[in-house]
Structure 1
């Protein structure tokens, strides 16, 4: 393992952990080690879309179209979108396409040429999963589509939709273009381009000869669902320029796995400007597009722009946006306000859904509705005029559907009347809510507690394939490993070591996870004899009445209240204890409407539920009237583990029929008595609703862009004032390492960050937490003592030091752990 750079300079952190602790750089690298039939892409699964308008000044396009069939081997499907060519040019293009096996479509638009509208119309006529937008004057190697199909197969581009391949363009001058056409053999032409790919990057750019290399372009391969989610090109652009920059920037924002530059809207550092040839700041949209294009370049993909004379009489050239005025108008809508991306859509849609999105960070939940054929009409406020306008739209039929995240939230009280009206009018209501399994949400007519689609009857009617059941078994095993949780928790091994004695007890252990007292799960749609306050109040007496049972009670991770006092047979689990480990330790589980109940069933831990536990069906668990009732049934030997066949079907029911999947960044809000767990940067990775079962997987689920990556080093970014690593760099690395579980490296990063900015002693507290989680109590104490000297009045830091010195104290005074931020 290398710990230094080739020049001998040490890396900021030497990561020398044992091999047993080493994990893949991807969260699921095994997925890329196997290829299923659905992953395979052939050239015929790609449609190359060429948009053009022919006229007297560009007759060269005819020769380039004739070249396609004889040059590419293998050839993809090709669609030529003729955007308003007059006669006789339209007929000539149509004939060329017919003779060469190219699809032809004429769009009767005679206004100023719009590449944006042409691309959208071309996309709408494609049927393949992958679309390759190209220009008539750009060619790659003759086997480009074989290479592209192979790469798309490896990247699983059919299902991982946000891996566009944006190609660099090598602009050949007139002399080199003539060499290309002088060669008659197509194989030799392709070899000539390969040679130019090696040599031309060494040559001096010549603007006057139109020789240069653009690291990004409007030539790219993209999954059709990803293109649809973005809303397509902005058709307000007519004439030359900016429509490509605007679309690709918007695409990058949707991907959410690229470093955000400063001054994103700034236009500078282009390939024909002097600043391009030295280290450059990471600033402006061009640098953002360089980052977007790097993967394709690293994979060896490129096209060559073949020289041609440019007609000066074209109105699209005179009506240009070279000053970026129109582009900046487009950027104003969503740059810095990404929720407004929901407003940008220029593709044909069948119907319109009004999206009630008061909490702006939730906008990502709504984007998959575009894949279901909806145009989105987002609403971000509850102003009277807004409510009135939506009411009118629902009554008139302008909105055929209404979508909202959990309509029963207190903050959505003003929206409830709209939900009721939509149902009264027979409009479709699409409720979005978090699922009971990690990383899941669902889209349904109502919340699961009140939807017939989650009923036992529907479950019993459902049939599952052998592959689905096999995948369900794999899912259960991965879940039980303990890495996936609904809330942030310690890893399984940490909790196992911490509770080793509890796991060795011979006495029966009853695990009871508590709820938030004001959560919808315990306040609405309740079934059974007890309300949640009665359930909670009964615990103390029940614990006393059953001294032979060890009760492990876990407060909700977001709760700040503890209402139980110490008892001989009571263990209060810490909020950060791993839930999967606790379920494996438990002899049985009793819960009130908690999603932990579903996890318990999947662990095959005997489970009893109170309230409307919609997942407790077909005999998977026991429906108790009280905790004591559950205990009595357990004592009688009638509370048993659910059979394997049932839990496999139950898991398959949720993960393949009811739930969609998503990835996001945690967003924790603090209140007096509780925390609130929300999300931002939401990306839905699989969408299931109303017959739709669409894979929308995202690259960020497998790896997150790091500023300590090779890709970042390729950007050759200048750091103003110093070439050494800054405080902020070490802080970002520390957070990244901490979140990925590399606590030793995180501690060193936080310490290095503190050395560079000693005005932030909390960095030492972060380092202490990292050392503690890494199992080094002495270093944790040392860093905390150092922090306390700089924070003499910080009571929480002192209490934390006490719990590190004497861990059992955490059960008396609380853990007082210093929470490391997400960013």
Structure 2
């Protein structure tokens, strides 16, 4: 193992990954085939729709290669039921009967059907939809290209081309698969520009036909089962799938039914990104550009005789009732869950944008309830439920936040009554978070880190090495920072100093990290005072001090001749590389310093301190300096860095993507997130990929998608014509005349440089002391001050 650790870390892997999320969500390569897809079709056969049976037979026999089929019979009776069951048996299709003779419910049929499917993928379609005969080979290949084994929340949505009766008859007139395929290809190409009525009744740039992973269907909560008859269940569910999986921005008036394909407004809608139809169209365009589509075959729909379209939600009454539950109050989307689950969990959070942390808990069998209000009435209702053992588990985002003070009674009661309570909090690495019994500073596992490092056997060495390489490159960080290269170029003098150089990152004074779990440790205020004393007691040491990027505290009182107060946006990885040591209270920067194999010292309670590796535990800044001067300290080895990182990846951390939100308050800033998606969750020892890696491809106004459908509307846009080029005879007048060579403007810069160079040779101490640049001023301690 020692030799394996000594290889150059990550070199064979880093080129495969564009981000930390690419690394941590990576899995052994899976190759999917058509056999990994189950086509789920819900039907009911009666005397008024006899066309269903021959269409079903065509569905089960037309495609090559053939996927798995699940036919959900929703309440067919007598000989109709028997004929469907026999047809499924002949063609080796799974048959599932639902004894429900009420109005047909596609929602209920698909929800129940999905629960019986065992394959990785579910392909929902209708018995009256057809595809090219090799369609499932094409779409199974796309699942591999899109890495759906990792990005399990990705869906492949299809547009639907509604064939006329004439075109449908022509399709069936061809007896060979190849001829049928060629016919669909030809009319798709030739008829796209002609008016509706000849080959196409209409084309809808979206449909209820799509491929979804089994995991995502379960995570999404399935179809709303209040819908019966025709209409709305598809749009409501597709909206939720988009919110859960995509970073395409939501349109204005998401709950409005505008621009239907049979409305006159459909042809004037290109620049108006409004209503739910435009949203699901935006979700579908990528698949259509891959050449994927479904063709709806013509059939009679005798609604007057009781066909299911006679009962519909075309006025969107049920649709509005459901979508109003979570739009625009998006946190309530957690409550839209129509799949049976064995356990109940309460999710507590005050920032209503944090709902994304909780959705994956459904995959662990929890039906979720939420509390994000601090009203006394809501809290009392929850307390009564806990007392009655209503919940199996409580999940709360950082219970020690000020905004969660009113929830602490809930946590105390649940723990007293033995209801398991799980804390969710951000981890110490970019994009990391954890689900644990206590926040990291109170987690006993970290206090036993010596034993863990000595006994733990790495599970994903290559992944851990690649992650360390990625972190040390300085291209990803917890807070916004300038690039590694920019900071590195600024720190030449610091990097080449002959004096010991110590990096000290400061923290937020009111943060849980420095106000809780501090018994037996110096307080954070004492730590600040120790820094001040050590600065003046050790003029032979250079201290590079960086305040927390969210802080507004004035730290100029720490300024001295041997102090560099670095900018808030300084890249900490370049800064650590430019300093010889790191001293922290208990900042997460200390863990990064250990992973970067920099000698690190902590004064407060940390989760990365051990007796012989990682951070050196000391009682004061001065003790750390004494150990530095006497060389009585340990440094994290690459072996221990890899073991610790591997343990975090496999035993502790989950991973998420989000959009940063920086809120500005009078005394400090706050770092929040929007559009949170847990890409991989690690709960109770079970790790599940739950994301879509969507942030690797953020939507842009300069994208082709925005050209096709204006997802980034520009208000009051003025069309500015190009200025004509001047004619040959016209005189081109420069705005400012160029100076003549003889003018003094040319000579100013060389004269200035000459004066500075002479000053540097004459008195280097004064040259540095008078500089406007902090790092050059800091270099004055390298020279003798002239008396």
- 3-state SS, counterpart of residue 118 of structure 2: coil
- Choose which of 701, 719, 727 in structure 2 pairs with 1:724: 719
Aligned residues: 707
- 3-state SS, counterpart of residue 569 of structure 2: coil
Which stretch of structure 1 is more off in the superposition, 216-225 or 67-76? 67-76
Distance 1:261 1:476 in 2: 40
Q: Which residue of 1 aligns with 2:653?
A: 659
- 3-state SS, counterpart of residue 171 of structure 1: strand
Q: Does 1:38 align with 2:24?
A: no
Q: Does 1:489 align with 2:481?
A: yes
The answer to whether the 8 Å contact 2:613/2:634 transfers is: no
- 3-state SS, counterpart of residue 192 of structure 2: helix
Per-residue CA deviation, residues 449-487 of structure 1 (Å, 9 max, x unaligned), is 11234442455543323xx11111111111111111111
- Where does 1:285-324 land on structure 2 (aligned, <5 Å)? 285-312=276-303, 313-314=305-306, 316-324=308-316
- Choose which of 598, 604, 615 in structure 2 pairs with 1:605: 598
Distance 1:635 1:701 in 2: 46
The answer to whether the 8 Å contact 1:27/1:703 transfers is: no
Per-residue CA deviation, residues 702-750 of structure 1 (Å, 9 max, x unaligned), is 1111121101111268867656389xxxxxxxxxxxxxxxxxxxxxxxx
- 3-state SS, counterpart of residue 633 of structure 1: helix
- Where does 1:447-526 land on structure 2 (aligned, <5 Å)? 447-454=439-446, 455-456=448-449, 457-458=451-452, 460-465=454-459, 468-526=460-518
The answer to whether the 8 Å contact 2:19/2:470 transfers is: no
Instruction: Give the C-alpha shift of residue 407 in structure 1.
Output: 0.9
Q: Which residue of 1 aligns with 2:128?
A: 137
Instruction: Give the C-alpha shift of residue 586 in structure 1.
Output: 1.4
Distance 2:511 2:710 in 1: 49
Q: Which residue of 2 aligns with 1:6?
A: none
Distance 1:316 1:66 in 2: 21
Distance 1:513 1:579 in 2: 9
The answer to whether the 8 Å contact 2:167/2:200 transfers is: no
The answer to whether the 8 Å contact 2:494/2:579 transfers is: no
Instruction: Give the C-alpha shift of residue 241 in structure 1.
Output: 0.6
CA RMSD of aligned residues (A): 2.6
The answer to whether the 8 Å contact 2:456/2:643 transfers is: no
Q: Does 1:590 align with 2:580?
A: no
- 3-state SS, counterpart of residue 56 of structure 1: coil
Q: Which residue of 2 aligns with 1:239?
A: 229
Q: Which residue of 2 aligns with 1:100?
A: 91
Say if 1:458 and 1:62 are closer, same or farther in 2 by CA, change over 3 A: farther
- 3-state SS, counterpart of residue 442 of structure 1: strand
Larger radius of gyration: 2
Distance 1:351 1:249 in 2: 26
Instruction: Give the C-alpha shift of residue 300 in structure 1.
Output: 0.7
Instruction: Give the C-alpha shift of residue 697 in structure 1.
Output: 2.7
Instruction: Give the C-alpha shift of residue 377 in structure 1.
Output: 0.3
- Where does 1:184-333 land on structure 2 (aligned, <5 Å)? 184-206=175-197, 211-278=201-268, 280=270, 281-312=272-303, 313-314=305-306, 316-333=308-325
The answer to whether the 8 Å contact 2:494/2:775 transfers is: no
Instruction: Give the C-alpha shift of residue 206 in structure 1.
Output: 2.2
Structure 2 gap ranges (5+)? 1-14, 722-748, 750-770, 779-787
Q: Which residue of 1 aligns with 2:410?
A: 418
Per-residue CA deviation, residues 630-653 of structure 1 (Å, 9 max, x unaligned), is 111122223243111110111111
Say if 1:445 and 1:299 are closer, same or farther in 2 by CA, change over 3 A: same
Instruction: Give the C-alpha shift of residue 562 in structure 1.
Output: 2.9
Q: Which residue of 2 aligns with 1:672?
A: 666
The answer to whether the 8 Å contact 2:35/2:67 transfers is: yes
- 3-state SS, counterpart of residue 711 of structure 1: helix
Instruction: Give the C-alpha shift of residue 195 in structure 1.
Output: 2.1
Q: Which residue of 2 aligns with 1:379?
A: 371
The TM-score, its normalising length taken from structure 2, stands at 0.86
Which stretch of structure 1 is more off in the superposition, 291-300 or 191-200? 191-200
The answer to whether the 8 Å contact 1:507/1:549 transfers is: yes
Distance 1:528 1:143 in 2: 69
Say if 1:810 and 1:413 are closer, same or farther in 2 by CA, change over 3 A: farther
Q: Which residue of 1 aligns with 2:694?
A: 700
Instruction: Give the C-alpha shift of residue 698 in structure 1.
Output: 2.3
Distance 2:333 2:645 in 1: 35
Say if 1:215 and 1:529 are closer, same or farther in 2 by CA, change over 3 A: closer
Distance 2:431 2:19 in 1: 15
Instruction: Give the C-alpha shift of residue 809 in structure 1.
Output: 11
- 3-state SS, counterpart of residue 57 of structure 1: coil
Distance 1:673 1:811 in 2: 30
Per-residue CA deviation, residues 560-608 of structure 1 (Å, 9 max, x unaligned), is 1134332121111221111111111111111111100100001110111
- Where does 1:100-119 land on structure 2 (aligned, <5 Å)? 100-119=91-110
Q: Which residue of 1 aligns with 2:681?
A: 687
- Choose which of 338, 350, 366 in structure 1 pairs with 2:330: 338
Structure 1 gap ranges (5+)? 1-23, 727-777, 779-804, 813-823
Instruction: Give the C-alpha shift of residue 420 in structure 1.
Output: 1.4
Say if 1:460 and 1:383 are closer, same or farther in 2 by CA, change over 3 A: farther
Q: Which residue of 2 aligns with 1:802?
A: none
Distance 1:303 1:701 in 2: 29
Flag the structure with more relative contact order, 1 or 2, with Cα contacts below 8 A and sequence separation at least 6: 2
Instruction: Give the C-alpha shift of residue 810 in structure 1.
Output: 13
- Choose which of 36, 42, 57 in structure 2 pairs with 1:51: 42
Distance 2:624 2:518 in 1: 18
